[in-house]
Structure 1
């Protein structure tokens, strides 16, 4: 009897266009905490949901900027894991678009080139006042994170305070990124949903849209997040184990020409 992972490998082997949809779980395996993980050290007494809002930035911009410098330090120490690298390997033989809810750069550092960030990126700040993105990176010391309050740099154009270029609670997803993600999802043959619980909307609509558009949907997660059907599959386990194992099963007879 064919196993689930073998069945999925066959589907991917026959696919031309794949969307890889990733959430916090894949980054957690590189050591980046998720929102479910308790904070430690100097940030242990703070609630992330109360720091990641426009109102929090207005009330105490230095505190919020210090929080994001701490998060940048976490990302800088992390390395892409085997799942990130397997996705890059898959893209050598297929048309692969990565749609991620993560604000880190682990996909890019692993080598992925077509990455859509639905929730923005820690690496790209913008002005809180005029919304422009500065041409030069303002992080003189991106690793320094000791001490809660660090005054944010100023916008080179309007002198407003720079804020993290991420989607805060209560904000809309970036329209251009969302449009690109929807187009890629509607046009894919298989969608791999990796390390996401499917509870953060509207990003969680991506697997639903893929299924409605006729694609196969494969969930890779340590816990079941969907019911299996003829077009929905679940691979239970860590992304760093399941994704490389899946990619290794794809036969060379299915490779697309370079």
Structure 2
């Protein structure tokens, strides 16, 4: 069945199709009367409008912010919203829409609020049918969500899960590296993309487009200095992942980061999937020669394009004459009569070395094959705990991982800000380093790191959530302000005293205490 589509055999009730872009529903009699018209070919413009509206609503749902369910003609109460969501899962989309919108029990506008959607300003005063498509997408998203496991809800539950689990999957994002001063990409005011917009780039992602790089690599080389990784340090959160490995509990760390700090922290390459590649290596775009990534760092700092030294060596070898330039299909390019005799016509090749590109995954390149094989063939059926740290989980296919795992696998979310499109069992909001340190303290584990002060103990406060059992908590240092939603560790509370030497994987597992 298509998203939100409902076909109801009730003659005089309107048929509500939540996938339609029509402005109003029609009765079943009207549909029968106009059946011949339905076979008329639709214009491309109509098709494009439908696609555009779906994209608009998808973006709207991605950016949805929490709002108060105050009740009223157009807004559900907390109790109503909870009841509607429960009913949807009980009867499915078709029966749910018939019971609510089709029968006139509740408007589509009001029903949208049950799924956390505040009616957008551009639909203010619009007919109720204008909300059908938005409601259909919201219903589809609700049905695709994993269901929370009610037996887990507190930070103590999370600590106990750490102790008893044997195959822990860790999914990480930029939030685990920001305490080292490495910027993330997508934060509204502090991310790297925000900086690019301030510099005049309308679409910051173009800087990381593979076709743009091949056409003009100077743009990337001028800007990439701000995201070069730290080669000598890693964060307490990286240390936490390494501790899981020491205890024999780490199944796989799927990292969306490109800084390669996991390797410096001692994560076994066999247990590490760098979903978006990394700075660890760089490859020539012409000959495929690969070198350590740090070999091009100085070029990036100096904003100079790094040329392939292997190509340069090969070009230095004398050759018996110049070759005719080849066309794109490999054949010789024949000189046309319209060509003049000047060498500037490009008739002959001018040998040039290839450009070195760091092996981070650009837009237009596929994810490493290992991401899919490791997840499908190894991890999917044996993982017994998922911990998502420092990522908004908006970039597919990594964002889809929590939804495809077995429904009985507990999932914990750790980040500064909450997300709404995935239902985790326990949400721990705060600085990632502080949260993992507190989790280890509760689990009786000794997490040692230069950035963790001796005797660190965090405070934990509940976060109110409309119509849901308490499972979201703010974790913060006593000296910081718990009302500050960013929960950033203040300067001086956690300080890096000296560089940390690179780890090996030979350390013995430690015994664990009980909560």
Partner of 1:239: 432
C-alpha contact 1:90 1:247 (8 A) present in aligned 2: no
1:10 aligns with 2:160: yes
C-alpha contact 1:69 1:144 (8 A) present in aligned 2: no
1:97-176 pair list within 5 angstroms: 97-113=252-268, 114-129=271-286, 132=288, 134=290, 136-137=291-292, 139-140=294-295, 142-143=297-298, 145-148=300-303, 150-154=304-308, 156=310, 159-176=353-370
User: Structure 1 pair 13/54, CA: closer, same or farther in 2 (3 Å)?
Assistant: same
* Alpha-carbon shift at residue 186 of structure 1 (Å): 3.9
Distance 1:41 1:86 in 2: 30
Partner of 1:49: 205
Distance 1:63 1:44 in 2: 15
1:185-196 pair list within 5 angstroms: 185-196=380-391
Which ranges in structure 1 are unaligned for 5 or more consecutive residues? none
Residues 196-231 of structure 1 show CA distances to partners (whole Å, capped at 9, x for unaligned) of: 101111111122223x353211110112224897x7
Q: CA RMSD of the aligned region, Å? A: 3.2
Distance 1:78 1:224 in 2: 31
Specify which structure has the higher proportion of strand.
1
* Alpha-carbon shift at residue 255 of structure 1 (Å): 4.2
Which ranges in structure 2 are unaligned for 5 or more consecutive residues? 1-151, 315-352, 446-509
Compare relative contact order (CA 8 Å, sep 6+) and give the higher one, 1 or 2: 1
Distance 1:180 1:38 in 2: 30
User: Structure 1 pair 198/104, CA: closer, same or farther in 2 (3 Å)?
Assistant: same
Residues 45-89 of structure 1 show CA distances to partners (whole Å, capped at 9, x for unaligned) of: 1644121011221221133234335422xx127731111112212
1:30 aligns with 2:180: yes
What is the TM-score when the length of structure 2 is the normalising length? Answer: 0.43
C-alpha contact 1:128 1:161 (8 A) present in aligned 2: yes
Partner of 2:217: 61
Higher-Rg structure is 2
C-alpha contact 2:230 2:261 (8 A) present in aligned 1: no
Distance 1:138 1:38 in 2: 23
User: Structure 1 pair 83/111, CA: closer, same or farther in 2 (3 Å)?
Assistant: same
Distance 1:79 1:105 in 2: 11
Q: Number of paired residues?
A: 248
SS of the residue 2:367 aligns to:
coil
* Alpha-carbon shift at residue 176 of structure 1 (Å): 1.8
1:202 aligns with 2:397: yes
SS of the residue 2:426 aligns to:
strand
1:91 aligns with 2:235: no
User: Structure 1 pair 58/154, CA: closer, same or farther in 2 (3 Å)?
Assistant: same
Aligned partner (choices 414, 417, 433) of residue 220 of structure 1: 414
* Alpha-carbon shift at residue 137 of structure 1 (Å): 2.5
